[in-house]
């Protein structure tokens, strides 16, 4: 089973490009968007002959609240704390397009917020939808890290913390036990943060961040496989200039 799990990670995750964009307005409101895109060149190298035999088409858009309403009988069975967690995702919008004919496999998740601390961990959205649809217990989930965001008008923080060391170690083992031949492939597996602020950037905790000429935006790129094995490396603190 380990080899199958490792192959799944390689086929699905290491051939993927993820871009997380946050736009913060002067009044603290804004929008966050996460785009997960399968890189076709990378996936073709990994899938081999199976690439030409794909037969998939899905094009759907939903708002998380739709599932709370549709499966309300299930929703009300959750504890108040769990219901509150789901409600945090209620306005998350998801668009999924998987087309083997067009060779486009893309998931876009977006959320309009009144303040940065309202931003949910969008990467868990589809898992929570499945929980409601199938009446799963949240305690059965295998998420091994969480992402939180904070902004006080001057300091922005993206805080990532490991919540399940056992699952993290399983992921590390899957990469370690993967077939060495995949290491020689030229795969695109980027994880990019693009943040736009209402004031100029004074400092960034990660020195690899590229700051725009107007100093109000930054771009920071990681290798996706590195992030999966060390999610805390994507934590970030950005200090903005004070306006007098």
Where in the chain are the domains?
Answer: 2-240
Per-residue confidence (pLDDT) for residue 46, from 0 to 100:
66
∠ CA(163), CA(165), CA(168), 5° rounding?
Answer: 100
What confidence tens digit (pLDDT) does each residue in 176-229 have? 876 666 666 666 688 999 999 999 999 999 999 999 999 999 999 998 888 989
Please state, in angstroms and as integers, the Cα–Cα distance from residue 20 to each residue in 41, 230, 241, following that order: 21, 17, 23
Cβ(92)–Cβ(64) below 8 Å: yes
Residue 7 confidence (pLDDT) above 50: no
What confidence tens digit (pLDDT) does each residue in 23-82 have? 999 999 999 999 998 876 666 666 666 766 678 888 999 999 999 999 999 999 999 999
Strands 57-63 and 201-204: unpaired
In the chain, DSSP assigns E strands to 16-24, 30-38, 57-63, 93-99, 104-113, 145-151, 155-162, 190-196, 201-204, 210-211, 217-223, 236-240
């Amino acid at each position: 089973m380990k080899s199958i799990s490792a192959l799944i990670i390689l086929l699905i995750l290491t051939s993927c490009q993820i871009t997380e964009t946050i736009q913060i307005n002067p009044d603290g409101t804004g929008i966050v968007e996460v785009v997960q895109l399968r890189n076709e060149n990378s996936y073709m190298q990994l899938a081999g002959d199976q690439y030409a035999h794909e037969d998939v088409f899905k094009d759907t858009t939903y708002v998380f609240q739709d599932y709370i309403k549709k499966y309300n009988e299930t929703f009300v069975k959750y504890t108040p704390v769990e219901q509150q967690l789901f409600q945090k995702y209620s306005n998350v919008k998801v668009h999924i397009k998987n087309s083997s004919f067009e060779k486009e496999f893309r998931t876009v998740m977006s959320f309009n917020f009144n303040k940065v601390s309202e931003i949910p961990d969008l990467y868990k959205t589809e898992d929570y939808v499945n929980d409601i649809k199938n009446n799963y217990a949240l305690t059965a989930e295998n998420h091994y890290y969480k992402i939180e965001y904070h902004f006080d008008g001057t300091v922005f923080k993206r805080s990532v913390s490991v919540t399940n060391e056992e699952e993290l170690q399983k992921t590390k083992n899957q990469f370690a036990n993967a077939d060495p031949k995949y290491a020689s492939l030229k795969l695109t597996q980027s994880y990019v943060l693009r943040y736009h602020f209402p004031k100029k950037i004074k400092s960034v905790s990660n020195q690899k961040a590229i700051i725009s000429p107007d100093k109000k935006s930054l771009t920071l790129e990681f290798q996706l496989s590195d992030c999966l094995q060390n999610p805390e490396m994507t934590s970030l603190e950005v200090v903005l200039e004070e306006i007098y």
